């Protein structure tokens, strides 16, 4: 089972609620994914009126755990304020914390992220920080009180998959007791499987499913990819080798030689 703070879940796939062709497809894709946690942007929900009410009704119908996020925030003050508003609106202390530092790559402002996380943890939040794959940053987030760390595989929406495998593996090795989630940059079910094979506890994605030609089928494919990767990790993957090793034993194999 997957554990986030004091809650446990069966699914290791977290899914976003944006960019789908229609609300109905969003619901069907989330159901097909088997995800039990859905990220929701406060900015979208806080639009108010009929649009905001209708969207919230759709999410409630899915019977999932909502993880509000601070998407789009570019300063510590903005992220902290948004988190507090989300807590009031959604009635949860969970927050996916984003502090964006670059408009082109949407790379996190890691200095601001650690500062915001420190403030929110002291205020009683259970923080899910979106960060880079940098070990020092992840360690500082843990020191701030985060029990979950969410490094990217690649920039948001890039679909490149894991671009720094060694760094992600190092994070897993050095933070064995922390729940680690690969967040952003995954474009294919095989990317999700790779993250789980590395020992990551879960993956979070949105664009790769929402923007697929068939989001529902793609959601199902990611579900299978996550399950496959976790099963392989638990089964014990063999180590890579520099030289070939025969899969068929040669001891006892009959052989012949010519007799002159």
Q: What angle do CA 74, 80, 84 make, to 5 degrees?
A: 135
Residue 94 phi/psi, 5° resolution?
-75, 140
Q: What is the pLDDT of residues 116-143, one digit of tens each?
A: 999 999 999 999 999 999 999 999 999 9
Q: How far apart are CA 37 and CA 63, in angstroms?
A: 9
Which band of pLDDT confidence, cut at 50, 70 and 90, is reported for residue 52?
A: low
Q: Tell me which residue of 167, 159, 164, 224 sits closest to 196, measured CA to CA.
A: 224
- pTM for this predicted structure: 0.89
Measure the CA–CA gap between 100 and 74, rounded to whole angstroms: 5
Per-residue pLDDT, 254 = 63
pLDDT value of position 59:
87
d(C-alpha 195, C-alpha 164), whole Å: 11
CA R_g for the chain:
21
Q: In the chain, what percentage of residues exceed pLDDT 70?
A: 91
The answer to whether the CB of 111 falls within 8 A of the CB of 132 is no
HEC sequence for 162-215: CCCHHHHHHHHHHCCCCEEEEECCCCCHHHHHHHHHCCCCEEEECHHHHCCCCH
* Mean pLDDT computed over every residue of the chain: 91
Is the Cβ–Cβ distance between 164 and 170 less than 8 Å? no
The string of pLDDT tens digits covering residues 138-161 is 999 999 999 999 999 999 999 999
The pLDDT of residue 226 is 98
Q: For position 17, what pLDDT does the model report?
A: 92
Active site residues: 96
Structure confidence by residue, pLDDT tens digits, 28-43: 999 999 999 999 987 6
The pLDDT tens digits for 65-91 are: 999 999 989 999 999 999 999 999 889
pLDDT at 213 over 70: yes
pLDDT digits 0-9 by tens, 184-209: 999 999 999 999 999 999 999 999 99
Average the pLDDT over 6-25 and give the result.
Answer: 95
Rounded to whole angstroms, the Cα distance separating 79 from 40 reads 15
More confident residue, 51 or 90: 90
């Amino acid at each position: 089972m997957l554990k986030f703070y004091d809650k446990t879940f069966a699914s290791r796939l977290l899914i976003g609620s944006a960019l789908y062709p229609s609300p109905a497809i969003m619901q069907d894709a989330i159901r097909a994914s088997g995800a039990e946690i859905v990220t929701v942007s406060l900015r979208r929900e806080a639009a108010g009126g009929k649009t905001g009410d209708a969207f919230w009704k759709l999410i409630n119908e899915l019977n999932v755990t909502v993880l509000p996020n601070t998407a789009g925030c570019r300063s510590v003050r903005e992220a902290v304020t948004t988190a507090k508003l989300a807590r009031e609106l959604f009635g949860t202390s969970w927050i996916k914390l984003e502090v964006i530092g670059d408009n082109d790559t949407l790379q996190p402002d890691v200095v601001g992220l650690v500062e915001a996380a420190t403030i929110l943890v002291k205020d009683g939040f259970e923080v899910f920080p979106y960060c880079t794959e940098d070990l020092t940053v992840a360690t500082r987030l843990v020191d701030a009180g985060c029990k979950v760390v969410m490094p990217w595989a690649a920039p948001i929406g890039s679909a490149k998959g894991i671009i720094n495998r060694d760094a992600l593996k190092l994070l897993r090795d050095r933070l064995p007791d922390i729940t680690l989630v690969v967040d952003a940059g995954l474009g294919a079910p095989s990317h999700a499987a790779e993250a789980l094979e590395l020992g990551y506890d879960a993956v979070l994605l949105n664009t790769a499913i929402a923007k697929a030609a068939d989001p529902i089928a793609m959601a199902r494919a990611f579900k299978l990819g996550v399950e496959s990767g976790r099963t392989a990790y638990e089964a014990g993957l063999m180590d890579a080798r520099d030289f070939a090793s025969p899969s068929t034993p040669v001891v006892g194999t009959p052989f012949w030689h010519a007799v002159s």
